[in-house]
Amino acid sequence: MAGRVFFFLQHATYEPAYQAASMGITAAAMGDDVYFVFAFEALRQLIRGGFGLAHTERERTEAARADGLNVPTPARMLEEARALGAKLVACDTTVRICGFSPQELNGTLDEVMGLASIWRLTDGARVLTL
């Protein structure tokens, strides 16, 4: 049974990015409506191209193992999920707190929306925070 799934992302290092991206692409492939909601460091790293990069020795080891297993990077899984219909969004206020304007995120995000809109979309959805 398809539904809506929200991944609220505040962190963007390898481990949380992998968890969100791998679950998100799986949910999208299974027909769920998937939303990745980016905030703070996750938003900044997405914009800078650093989403899912390893930041510790443990994460570098894990990323190397994943590469050896031919597991796609978190950034690639995110893009593949997006190709399956997943949406990358952020709250307008959070975007501004992080020092960006909604207009400059066109293309990086599918939509910048108000928190009330995000809140309404979560009604009846599965919600995960990472």
pLDDT 10s digits, 72-91: 999 999 999 999 999 999 99
pLDDT at residue 92, rounded to an integer: 97
Residue type, 65: R
CA–CA distance, 31 with 86 (Å, rounded to integer): 10
Q: Which residues pair with 111 in a beta bridge?
A: 89
Query: Crossing angle, helix 14-29 and helix 57-68, to 10 degrees?
Result: 40
Cα dist. 1→4, 11, 31, 33, 126 in Å? 10, 29, 8, 11, 13
Domain 4-129, what architecture? 3-Layer(aba) Sandwich (3.40)
Query: Crossing angle, helix 74-83 and helix 14-29, to 10 degrees?
Result: 20
CB atoms within 10 A of CB 85: 12
What tens digit of pLDDT does each residue of 90-123 get? 999 999 999 999 999 999 999 999 999 999 999 9
CA–CA distance, 121 with 61 (Å, rounded to integer): 37
Residue boundaries of the structural domains of the chain: 4-129
3-state secondary structure of 109: strand
